[in-house]
Structure 1
Amino acid sequence: MDPGYKRLLAGLSPLAPIETGLPESGTPAGPVKAVMFDVYGTMFVSAAGDISQADTKKNMDEVVAEIFDDLEISGIPPEGIYESLTQKIKQHHDTQKRAGVEFPEIEIDRLWQEILKTESVRLARQAALAFEIRTNPVYPMPGLTKLIETLKKKGVAAGIISNAQFYTPLLFEHFTGSLPENSWARPDLLFYSYRYGHAKPSPLLFDMAADALWKAGIKEHETIFVGNDMLNDIYPAHNRGFQTALFAGDARSLRLHEDDPRCKNLSPEMVITGLGRIADIL
């Protein structure tokens, strides 16, 4: 890992999940040959509840000033950088929606390159990572180590379907010692939104995952998808034919969307409050 990224990630501190009060329920509807995971709010405790959801209680100008000082960025005033970032994200989303992308995803490092007016991808990525760490710190969800050990021991096909950025795989390397594809996940079952320009709840990532699973001889109904958001996770996974497990282990990130018509009559096969439950069913 790049030493600059490693130094920034070393600043992450333990975070404990907040109980939701929801009881566990359900069992798999059939044999489970593969498990696909959301990341933020499921495998990682997310202080803001999800990726790129900044803690708006913080003074963003002060946050950016700290980052610029730490990374020795000069010649650009920190005031208004956060507003510029949010504006660029909106502009990108609007452009992609006009092009027919229903749920667009950005590449955050490219936007930071534009803001910093730099050709250095490394500097832009350091700034993006530093900002995310300060505004939405994360930490492994309890039970993640046991889950990974179980996945490796049993040889279960496993992967990720998640809204993510370039730093998401780095978080696994920092916390677990290796990238998912070098440890517990199949390289062909990793679907990070930033790589495809589509974010959940777009069906695209789930369609690609289903196609990859079929090539491995695994059908949708033999796969369980685990996520903390009824709309972004359970809805598209259910529509594609996956079994589903709602992760209700942290009040910060649990999203039930009870008023959304797409979720009103939607029920996951399982509700779980800890990753150990997935390890137990494998």
Structure 2
Amino acid sequence: MWDERVPVHVAGSFYDLDGFRTRRDDLRDFETAEVGDVTGKSLLHLQCHIGTDTLSWAHRGAARVVGLDFSAPAVEAARALAADLGYGPDRATFVTSDVYDAPAAVPEPSYDIVYTGLGALCWLPDIRRWAETAASLVAPGGFLYLAEFHPLTESLDDETGTRIVHDYFARDAQVYEEPGTYADLDAVTVHNRSVEWQHTLGDVVSALAAAGLRLEFLHEHDVSVFPRFRNFEVRDGYHRFPADHPRIPLIYSLRTRKD
């Protein structure tokens, strides 16, 4: 499914790679504020897709970025984009691997920053194994930073986000057969089966704590980067509920450190 969607994402307006080659930075303002200065740091991006966020950190001064994704076409697209931007393999490296096998796939045993961006965790069946894997790649004194869609949103109706229609604590795999992609709902696709898992906020934080990482902060944000609910409107560069709609968390972010 992901392999088929890579060409759609590379060519489409959602990622706007032509524009990215000029602006070189697609990170959200809360991410850059919460991660802080990355100058001279090594950074590993787990589940990097086509590498735009990974390369954004390089643009912001990271000395070395490594992106990992299980889709070989996505990794090839990321490598091509890095080359277009003038980043050699000593500055930006991309590897193909299942995230659970990351320690054997990445070029260094640990990194100052391990980063995971929006829309990654729902594809993983075992959140504790993910946390253990990610924690093993954080250098002593370094940290893991995660920005993710808030699991509460998956419990609400798609139209207005005002009714609870799904079980927040559901743990069963959710199987979907949906054509298109979040980046182009009308895209013609053949491989449409996807499997997702719900991980509550408590599941994620507890898994990271059990893996030996110390929580520094957990923030919740009332903005999204795509029209998750049909009544969303765009304000200040983000998708939001209408101004008179009660606010709920749409994204959360956290930082956990290895002492």
TM range (shorter): 0.3 to 0.5
More strand per residue? 2
Normalised to the residue count of structure 1, the TM-score between the two structures is: 0.35
Select the structure that is richer in helix: 1
- Larger Rg over CA atoms: 1
